Amino acid sequence: MTGNFTFNNTIFAELDFSGVTGQLGLGFYRLIAVVKASMHGRGQEETISVSDLTAELSIRGAGNLEHYVGRMWQQGAGERLTASQYAWTPSVLLEVDLDARRLEAIESVRVGGSLDLKLWLYGRAVTSSGRAESVRADLYCTANQSSWIAALGQMGYRKTLLLEIPMPAEGTNEQLGQAAAHLREAQDLLLHGRYSDSIARCRLVCDSLAPVLDDAAGLPASGPSDWFQRQREMTKKERVRLVRRALTVLTHPAHHADQVSTQHEWGPDDAASILAATAALVRLARQS
């Protein structure tokens, strides 16, 4: 939805909130709103120049509640929007820096779908004769699933979601390579809101790690009841095997479509927690 800047009740600029992009920061994530302006030619009328551009950003997600995100500032040297003799179409980039907690909060609102974004854009308009007015436009944009996930990737969020677990190099170990591929698929499914499918991929990670950990030969034959009685005696590798088996049990319902599995409902917190635990298991398996 477009908005306008007016001066003395006359429109001199049309504004379009066209979308969002991301930028990788060191220890933070930068979200960038892209606003395209259409500045009207003013013929013999006096020039109008807009400076001090700032904005307030809010979002709506699956729950349809509006959530305030923060103040956005114009990126770069703060180029002015000027309406003069000739029409032109500049773009304005507005940025806000987010930490991991705030970005995860946005994801909890999005719940794997799209986001409706609202931008209150403010500026100070001054004419060539020195007259001044404050200007404001309310702009709206929907970031669909694919465009928002692309922005997350540009911010580096998809790389750090898995707790920066280092992935094995290609060719080092076939089973570890399969586990890493399934882990990436689980992450992508989580971002797309397919929580049960994400957890099912985590089960495939566990299956791929079984030969890496030599799981078949590694735990007492007497069964689970004896594992916890032997806690003091178990080796590190045995403990990692036990974790793998526990995660296999946890992810089993999402992996199998049967009467038992249909009784379970998986949400975003379930999928994110299981994904983090599975990613940590991959790291432990590499060290074992």
The amino acid occupying position 237 is: K
| Predicted confidence (pLDDT) per residue in 178-190, tens digit | 898 899 899 889 9
DSSP 3-state of 192: coil
Equal fold, 2-145 vs 161-287: no
Where are any strands of DSSP class E within 65-217?
Answer: 66-74, 81-83, 91-98, 115-127, 132-143
User: Which pLDDT value is given to residue 169?
Assistant: 55
Q: Which residue has the higher pLDDT, 254 or 125?
A: 125
Average confidence (pLDDT) over 257-263: 60
Q: Is pLDDT at 114 greater than 50 in this prediction?
A: yes
| Predicted confidence (pLDDT) per residue in 186-232, tens digit | 988 998 989 999 999 999 999 999 998 887 755 554 455 566 667 77
Domain ranges of the chain: 2-145, 161-287
CATH class of 161-287: mainly alpha
How many angstroms separate the CA atoms of 143 and 61, rounded?
10
Q: Is pLDDT at 165 greater than 60 in this prediction?
A: no
Q: Is pLDDT at 64 greater than 50 in this prediction?
A: yes
Give the percent of the chain with pLDDT over 70: 87
Confidence (pTM): 0.73
**CATH no. for 2-145:** 2.60.40
Mention every residue, 6+ apart, whose C-beta is less than 8 A from residue 224: none
